[in-house]
Each structure stands twice: as C-alpha cells, then as structure tokens.
Amino acid sequence: MTEARAVAVVVLAAGEGTRMKSALPKVLHPLLGRSMLGHVLAACEPLAARLLVVVGHGREQVTATLPEHVQPVVQAEQRGTGHAVRLALEAAADLDGTVLVVPGDAPLLTSRTLGELVDTHVAAGAVATVLTSVAPDPDGYGRVIRAADGSVARVVEHRDATAAERAVHEINTSVYAFQAGLLREALAKLGADNAQGEEYLPDVIGGFVAAGHPVAAVTAEAGETAGVNDRAQLAAAGRALRDRVLTAWMRAGVTVVDPATVWVDVGVRLDPDVTLLPNVQLHGTTQVGTGAVVGPDCTLTDTVVGSGARVVRAHCDRAEIGPEASVGPYCYLRPGARLGRRAKAGTYVEIKAADVGDGAKVPHLSYIGDAAIGEQTNIGAATVFVNYDGVAKHRTVIGSHARTGADNMFVAPVSVGDGAYTAAGSVITADVPAGALGVGRARQSNIEGWVERHRSGTPAAEAAARARTAAGGGPADPTDGDMGAGA
C-alpha cells in the first residue's frame, strides 16, 4: 500500500434489506465462506489506514462479526446515506485527507478497482470521485448525469429522475472517494427534500459542481459493482464470485473438470496439480495437497487432504486425510478423524475422533469412534466400535499389524495388542494381548428338523424336505432336539 492509497474507509452497512425477507441482516448473508460485508472489508483492507462501518439494523449481530481494528458507528435511525457518512465523520473527527465510501452489500468489489478509484481521485486533485458503471438495465439505480464536456454534473436517484435522465445507462455504484474537509461541509448542508425524505449522499456531487470544485469519475465493469438486494441477486453474486475464485485457482495450476458444479470458499487453499472433479464443495479452511484428487460428489469442511490422496463421494468435517490416503466412496469423516499416510476409509465407513495409522485400512461398512488404530492394521467389514455407554464416551485402541474379523464389536474401553487377531462375529469386551486370537462368540448348535416341525407348509419347509429326501434321509423326527418354537 502506497502512502497515496492510505485512506480512511467508511462502509455503509446499516440498511435493513427488506427484500431479502430474512431475520439475518442483509450484509451478513454468506457467499463462499464469507459474509457480504466480509467480502467488502477484504477488498478495502489493502487501502485502509482506518476502517469504519456504519451499523443500524441488526447492529449487535453485525458488530459482533467485525474485526477488532474496525470501528463500528451506530446509525440508530436510518435517515439516508448522507446521514450515515456524517455520523461516521463525527465519530472520527480527526479524519483528514481521502475518505473512501463503500456500500456493505457489494461483495464483488475488488481492491484493484478501489485502488484505481483512489489513485484517480488523488491524481485529479478532485474533491469527489464517483465510481460508475454502465448497466444494460439501469432501472432502480441512481443515474450519473454528465455535462456537455463529459464531466460529472450531478447524480440523481431513480425516483427523482426525469424521463430523460432515466434513459441514461451510466449508473452510480454508491462508491466514492472524497476530500474529508469539504465533504464534512457539504454533509452539514444536506437536506431531505426528495422522494424518500432522506439525506442523499449523491446530492453532495451536484453541490460540489455548482461550487466549482473538481469532480472526477472512474468507470468499472457492471458485474463487479453490482449490489445485492434480494435472494436472486445473492445467488447471481455467488456464481460470479465462484467463477472468479475458480479461475484464479485454475491459473495457479489446479484442474477443475466442471467449474459449473464446483464451489470453493475463499478461505480454502489448494496446491498445484490438485484435481477437483464434478460436484465438489470445499468449505472453510480446507487445504488440499499437491496431486490429490477430490470428487466426484464430495463436501469437505475445514479438512486437510494430503498430497496424492484420493477422496471420492465423501463428506468430511474437520478431518485430516494423510498423503496418498484413500477415502470413499460413501464415507463420512467426522471431526477428529485422522488418517495416516496410505490409510484407507472405504465404502460406508464412518470415523469420528479416531486416529487411523499409516497403511491401516477400514474398508467396509464400519463405525470407528473414539479410537486409535495402529499402522498396517486391517479392520474387518461390519465392525462397530461401541464407544458410548449412555453416559460417557470411551476409547478403543487397536495395535499395529492387527487383523480384526468381520462383524466385530469392540466394547470400549478395550485394547487389542500388536499383531493380534480377533475372530469373525466376536464381541470383544476384554483386552486381547499382542499376538493373541480374541474370540468372543457363543458356540453354534443346530436343531435338526426345526423348520419342518414349526414352519410346516412354508416354502422353506418344503425346500428342506426335498433336500432331506434327496440326501436319503427319513422323515423329520417330531421331537428330536426340539427346544421349542422360540429356540
């Protein structure tokens, strides 16, 4: 930031935003992991020596989101943008030099455009500089009216414009650079003789021109300056921001196979040679390492994915996936799930608050909670770590190079030693020493002829009779081995 760009910034965020039809203040509606106001502040930060945000509707909620270095200014009664800026200057009576005024509902603004506005303002020696754009449909926007020589003559709100003025397509974006001292004087003279009975900030432009003060203008792309007033415009801004973010990542070496179906929050970090397949959402502070492939059909929130890992059809929340690890399909990694290098969490696997060691595998149909699994261990299909006794959570520890059988239940707290095995179908309630075989199942008994005696006439009984006859057996004994219908 150059000294010429070290400015005071006033962000207007007091409006109710009734067209959003929401209990949430308009400027707090989220886009790609950041509120609209957050995007505006991020664009202003590189230029700002001082940041003030005018709050009004929902001010407690809005103020709670502001960084510590940002000064809130309360506009208790919304009496227009001119009134809001006047309150900000009164709250910062020592402000001098350039003041940048920005709306809090324009999340697509960039630092580059705001910097160009400030640079033009300073170079022109202007008292005010207006950021304008040319809108295909200017309905509802204030119009920038030019003099015969092309200079800015005034800004007129849509409701107060004549038919000829409404035919103008150059609009006011509500972004300005001002000279602080003369702005204070102009705001003190503002009236409210207009369609809305408010103090309009744009009215100071006409006053400056009438007084012979230089007023400049910078024209920006309409897509960048668009404000958000309803949910449809919010969605449109989200798509535009999504495209901007993905374009930047693709130019940084990330492959995005189908940008129309991929959403990446602004706080996400991606290394070169990452591949994002269709229908991927990366939220929060997610990080993806070099060569990793994510997708299709994945949602990752605040998750770390190591280099060369593969994540497919998975939902991961605050998880850590090690280098070259494999996740999915249809896998759920909950907070605290940590997979080591080349570990595997496979199909229909859920893991929570558990460490899965390097090269360990949980391939199928299992729940792993509050646990540690050593390196190179294999967890059999349909395994459940029974971690909750109805009051408290307990921990299971499985050693390295262990092999657990299919359909096991580990009733925590319990441990299985290094190199140990557990038999299929076991309920493990006691520790299994290293190298031992743990068996926790009842001995099987067969009650011959039970189906023919107690399910007579069913297809099963008829099939059993045919099989017995084919094997040369006699009629089923009506009493032999009978333990009752409930056996």
Catalytic residue among 158, 169, 213, 364: 364
Active site residue 364: yes
- Residues 6+ away with beta carbon under 8 Å from 319: 300, 303, 304, 333, 334, 335, 336, 337, 338, 339, 351
Burial of 137 (0-12, 13-18, 19+ CB in 10 A): exposed
- CA torsion angle for 168, 169, 175, 178 (degrees, to 10)? -40
Q: Which residues are catalytic?
A: 364
